[in-house]
Chains A and B, each alone.
Chain A
């Protein structure tokens, strides 16, 4: 193993000296698709995305050609397919709405093999987003080491921390949520000794006391009202159970939960009897893009952990009047999952108001620990819902969000190795048709994902790079100066 290490360094140095180029010779055609990682065969991408670098499994060298239907050609040669960023951007821009054809020649067991070509489709829909925000954390039980909130430029591979817990005393940061992908307004939670809910608006930060004593727990799962004045939360008494059988791991259930809306201007919490019922758990609120509806999930309260498999949520909505700060008097059921014996979680409306993307599980709402979790799309015009087979996998597919123009989604999936969730992007057209998703590109995907012991979660698009003064924020976190919230009369 040390010998291998030394040899690999020596080989790398020699390759460097030789100009890193190994050209194919005596090529043998194999009539099969190349075994590439990540699987980018047949995926649809936005123009301007970072190059989809990939490796061919079992190969020691590759020679790749990418040709655009509208013209243009780029090459990559080396240990894996690593494309020049500028050339790739030019090629995808020139081929918007058409496709790129990828020709893969790889050296496997000393022989050069020519695989069948495959296509990558360049969508006609622009991404119109700077990048992504997400949390990176080890998929643990009760303990986490280094973690943080990060942002990633989607046109290249630059990842920068928004905040990491190495800056404080090991706090947990979660649920970073911006208002319709605009980083001028965002919220996240700090958990731990210096707990708080942070709201930043136009560069000004406010740290709310983590728990209002009148509520059942901390405010969690935020979602902005499009006006930017309100933020919906739920407040949950969450517990965990740890399975003993091989195929299950963690179960999350709430002893109770309610939905509330926080008025940022007045520091007041708006409650409603229909959103904080005694026998039902209301959870995971989101506003409609016009701000007139509050979507949430609701479940008849059971005795947990005994009846954890009976924790099943429906998708509902209630009217919300931002001017009078009042809720409607009726709750509509938009999707009755319970009658299917299933449970709805993480509803996220498209910003054009046409769809709601949600996750469907057998029970519960913490879908990341449910292997059967799949993505479903509800058409708000017809109120018909269907599974998105093109993006679903055998592992948990969950946590999703739309891009600002509603033509792209980002979601997490454990399909890569069964435990560590990764980010995937897919295109959605006006009719709700989705394309095969592609894993978030990395400069060296095998090294990045192979060595990473982190899961990505709560991803969202961001219009621009998040401007967050980490050093001042750290002082404020440790300073423990918090704004009290009060219940609106």
Chain B
């Protein structure tokens, strides 16, 4: 009967954790999955197992690859975290008397798992840590088989610690502590616990000075790959480990509580832990990851729907939204319905981290800027702080190389991807295209990119991105409508209305446009009114509605030039609001002109 209850508790936890990730934070799964590339090769296994904590990394990366399909990935993750609870529970209840206390403690043994959920809200916390704990706990429970004589038990503990440390990393420090605490044969446990910790540290020092000299002591003692930034060791690592050590002692308190109050107390414990979980997840970051996941999956309508529900919170999300609007042919009509901030909200400047340029890399690829897309993907992959490779980026890099006709390089990436679980199907298919010019030219994506990509030699210059986009659009002879839309958007974001109006003479004919997009009309009308007293002689198709609205705006603006709220109220969805606000900001802070870009690249 007790076992059934335990199973039910663990099953409930599994379902809750599964739903938490699958429904609550699937974007986090996508984010994590793209920063590793698990390969079914012996050399990959050897590479992992050849460093401290390697088995935990290997198992963790095996699990994380399933995040590619969130429903399965969430289940795998839930299984791991539930296993952690089961092992903590199994460890605790053995030392516990009384049926009710045992069940209560078993329920409370979910707290390290719940804490883990909280800490995994930090995108750099890796699954290696909970996996390392699971393996350590399993080894600890197995040690019960050797718990016959004190000296034997202590000797086995000291010996087992070394390979365990190598396999899972410093989380193995739980092993000597928990093994001695659970022992029935060892006397003077505190003394032996202290001694075993000293021995464990000495063993680490020996390893550090012999077989693992390429890592500093700090990482060998705190974990090389529990956290993506190897020289950062967040509090979560210590809190979870400390909770696991403390939990068994909770029995001493629980057994003093009457059965009537035991479950309410248990409930309070659990509630206190659960309410902490959401605070581990930064809402803005989750939005970034959500947009990134949607861009990755080409869910353009999903992005627009998300933006309609909640305004994009930063440039990253705006880039995703602008790409979605452009891909659905709405950029020129809708982009200024959202709070654009400048050229950075269209395409990000290359930053040297692993997140900022995720959407820019996608946008560049869709635009046909293949070399720059390759560069953004390559450098983003190199910026993964724990030196892992990425299935997502490598796939994109292979596509770039196929489009560029560099089949030898593409083949290298494809061969690697063939050894993965979720990219192998794509890789095998892509392999058939290598060296087949005709097939590539007929390919719906790669063929199109070949037709719209750059032909003229020039350097990519972010500071003059509008010129780069303009050249790209015009070179394509009307085929690269996306580049044309981005070009216009860039001109508007930079406030270069003379060029916009000048270039728009080409548009209807070259790009077979029947209507001028709303925001372009607004920009043209704005530029026209700056130099003309009326709309007579306006050589562009600007609707009467736009003309009437700008006339109305002119009146309001004349009365309230320094009060953006006055004109933003009725015109916040227009290009004019953006333009006037930017102009005002530039007047107030001429040195921080976000439209002109910042420093040169290189």
Distance of B419 from chain A, by nearest CB (Å)? 7
- Cα distance A167–B231 in the bound complex, in angstroms: 10
Q: Give A1-23 as 1s and 0s: 1 = Cβ < 8 Å from B's Cβ atoms.
A: 11011000100000000000000
Interface assignment of A36: CB less than 8 Å from any CB of chain B: no
A-B contact pairs, 5 of them (CB 8 A): A145-B387, A244-B459, A244-B468, A248-B371, A470-B214
Distance of B202 from chain A, by nearest CB (Å)? 17
- Cα distance A474–B208 in the bound complex, in angstroms: 14
* 15 extra interface residue pairs, beta carbon distance < 8 Å, beyond A245-B454, A417-B409: A1-B420, A141-B375, A166-B214, A166-B215, A243-B459, A244-B454, A244-B456, A245-B371, A246-B404, A251-B459, A417-B408, A418-B406, A419-B408, A420-B412, A474-B216
Contact across chains for B602 and A240 when beta carbons are under 8 A apart? yes
Which B residue sits closest to A243, measured CB to CB?
B371
Contact across chains for B379 and A141 when beta carbons are under 8 A apart? yes
Interface assignment of B124: CB less than 8 Å from any CB of chain A: no
Interface assignment of B350: CB less than 8 Å from any CB of chain A: yes
Residues of B within 8 A of A166 (CB): 214-215, 230, 387
Which A residue sits closest to B455, measured CB to CB?
A245
Interface assignment of A447: CB less than 8 Å from any CB of chain B: yes
Residues of A within 8 A of B375 (CB): 141, 242
Q: Give B350-371 as 1s and 0s: 1 = Cβ < 8 Å from A's Cβ atoms.
A: 1010000000000000000111
Contact across chains for A249 and B371 when beta carbons are under 8 A apart? yes
Contact across chains for B459 and A451 when beta carbons are under 8 A apart? no
Q: Give B382-419 as 1s and 0s: 1 = Cβ < 8 Å from A's Cβ atoms.
A: 11110101000000000000011110110110011011
Residues of B within 8 A of A451 (CB): 41, 43, 416
Interface assignment of B529: CB less than 8 Å from any CB of chain A: no
Contact across chains for B424 and A143 when beta carbons are under 8 A apart? no
Select B409's contact among A168, A241, A418, A447, beta carbons within 8 Å: A418
Contact across chains for B460 and A242 when beta carbons are under 8 A apart? yes
- Cα distance A453–B43 in the bound complex, in angstroms: 13
Which A residue sits closest to B409, measured CB to CB?
A419
Contact across chains for B421 and A246 when beta carbons are under 8 A apart? no
Interface assignment of A325: CB less than 8 Å from any CB of chain B: no
Contact across chains for A447 and B371 when beta carbons are under 8 A apart? no
- Cα distance A242–B372 in the bound complex, in angstroms: 8
Which B residue sits closest to A471, measured CB to CB?
B213
Contact across chains for A1 and B418 when beta carbons are under 8 A apart? yes
Number of interface residues of B (CB under 8 A): 55
Contact across chains for B384 and A145 when beta carbons are under 8 A apart? yes
- Cα distance A451–B419 in the bound complex, in angstroms: 11
Select B412's contact among A4, A140, A417, A470, beta carbons within 8 Å: A417
Binding site for B on A (CB under 8 A): 1-2, 4-5, 9, 138, 140-146, 161, 164, 166-169, 239-249, 251, 305, 417-420, 447, 450-451, 453, 470-471, 474
Residues of A within 8 A of B382 (CB): 138, 140, 143-145
- Cα distance A470–B214 in the bound complex, in angstroms: 8
Q: A-side binding surface: helix, strand, loop or mixed?
A: loop
Which A residue sits closest to B217, measured CB to CB?
A471
Contact across chains for B372 and A244 when beta carbons are under 8 A apart? yes
Contact across chains for A248 and B457 when beta carbons are under 8 A apart? yes
Contact across chains for B602 and A418 when beta carbons are under 8 A apart? no
Contact across chains for A242 and B352 when beta carbons are under 8 A apart? no
Q: Give B315-356 as 1s and 0s: 1 = Cβ < 8 Å from A's Cβ atoms.
A: 000000000000000000000000000000000001010000
Residues of B within 8 A of A450 (CB): 412, 415
Pairs A-B, 10 closest by C-beta atoms: A5-B40, A246-B404, A241-B459, A146-B387, A239-B602, A143-B379, A244-B454, A1-B424, A418-B408, A143-B382
- Cα distance A453–B390 in the bound complex, in angstroms: 12
Contact across chains for A145 and B383 when beta carbons are under 8 A apart? yes
- Cα distance A100–B497 in the bound complex, in angstroms: 74
Contact across chains for A167 and B215 when beta carbons are under 8 A apart? yes
Distance of B212 from chain A, by nearest CB (Å)? 11
Contact across chains for B40 and A2 when beta carbons are under 8 A apart? yes
Distance of A11 from chain B, by nearest CB (Å)? 12
Distance of B425 from chain A, by nearest CB (Å)? 8
Q: Give B22-57 as 1s and 0s: 1 = Cβ < 8 Å from A's Cβ atoms.
A: 000000000000000000111100000000000000
- Cα distance A244–B457 in the bound complex, in angstroms: 6
Interface assignment of B458: CB less than 8 Å from any CB of chain A: yes
Residues of B within 8 A of A145 (CB): 381-385, 387
Interface assignment of B557: CB less than 8 Å from any CB of chain A: no
- Cα distance A223–B405 in the bound complex, in angstroms: 39
Interface assignment of B378: CB less than 8 Å from any CB of chain A: yes
- Cα distance A111–B333 in the bound complex, in angstroms: 65
Residues of A within 8 A of B458 (CB): 243-244
Which B residue sits closest to A449, measured CB to CB?
B412
Known: A146-B387, A242-B460, A245-B456. A417 touches B411 (CB 8 A): yes
Residues of B within 8 A of A247 (CB): 404
Distance of A20 from chain B, by nearest CB (Å)? 15
Interface assignment of B453: CB less than 8 Å from any CB of chain A: yes
Contact across chains for B371 and A242 when beta carbons are under 8 A apart? yes
Residues of A within 8 A of B216 (CB): 167-168, 474
Contact across chains for A453 and B421 when beta carbons are under 8 A apart? no
Contact across chains for A141 and B40 when beta carbons are under 8 A apart? no
Query: Which of A9, A142, A471 has the most chain B CB within a 10 Å cutoff?
Result: A142
Distance of B421 from chain A, by nearest CB (Å)? 7
Distance of B236 from chain A, by nearest CB (Å)? 21
Distance of A2 from chain B, by nearest CB (Å)? 6
- Cα distance A166–B406 in the bound complex, in angstroms: 32
- Cα distance A166–B458 in the bound complex, in angstroms: 36
- Cα distance A142–B351 in the bound complex, in angstroms: 9
- Cα distance A34–B600 in the bound complex, in angstroms: 51
Select A169's contact among B231, B371, B406, B408, beta carbons within 8 Å: B231
Residues of B within 8 A of A471 (CB): 209, 213
Which A residue sits closest to B422, measured CB to CB?
A1
- Cα distance A138–B387 in the bound complex, in angstroms: 11
Contact across chains for A419 and B460 when beta carbons are under 8 A apart? no
- Cα distance A419–B375 in the bound complex, in angstroms: 13
Residues of B within 8 A of A240 (CB): 601-602
Which A residue sits closest to B384, measured CB to CB?
A145
Distance of A96 from chain B, by nearest CB (Å)? 35
Q: Give B460-480 as 1s and 0s: 1 = Cβ < 8 Å from A's Cβ atoms.
A: 100000001000000000000
Distance of B358 from chain A, by nearest CB (Å)? 14
Select B379's contact among A142, A249, A420, beta carbons within 8 Å: A142
- Cα distance A242–B350 in the bound complex, in angstroms: 12
Residues of A within 8 A of B214 (CB): 161, 164, 166-167, 470
Distance of A148 from chain B, by nearest CB (Å)? 8
Which A residue sits closest to B208, measured CB to CB?
A471
Known: A418-B406, A447-B43. A143 touches B421 (CB 8 A): no
Residues of B within 8 A of A245 (CB): 371, 454-457
Residues of B within 8 A of A164 (CB): 214
Query: Which of B384, B453, B458, B600 has the most chain A CB within a 10 Å cutoff?
Result: B458
- Cα distance A157–B1 in the bound complex, in angstroms: 61
Contact across chains for B453 and A246 when beta carbons are under 8 A apart? yes
Select B457's contact among A5, A243, A417, A419, beta carbons within 8 Å: A243
Contact across chains for B421 and A142 when beta carbons are under 8 A apart? no
- Cα distance A248–B370 in the bound complex, in angstroms: 12
Contact across chains for A143 and B383 when beta carbons are under 8 A apart? yes
Distance of B342 from chain A, by nearest CB (Å)? 22
Residues of A within 8 A of B415 (CB): 450
- Cα distance A470–B420 in the bound complex, in angstroms: 35
Residues of B within 8 A of A251 (CB): 459
Residues of A within 8 A of B209 (CB): 471
Query: Which of B230, B383, B384, B408 has the most chain A CB within a 10 Å cutoff?
Result: B408
Distance of A216 from chain B, by nearest CB (Å)? 16
Residues of A within 8 A of B409 (CB): 417-419
Contact across chains for B40 and A1 when beta carbons are under 8 A apart? yes
Which B residue sits closest to A447, measured CB to CB?
B43
- Cα distance A9–B13 in the bound complex, in angstroms: 36
Residues of B within 8 A of A1 (CB): 40, 418-421, 424
Known: A1-B424, A447-B43. A246 touches B602 (CB 8 A): no
Contact across chains for A143 and B352 when beta carbons are under 8 A apart? yes
Select B369's contact among A4, A161, A244, A417, beta carbons within 8 Å: A244
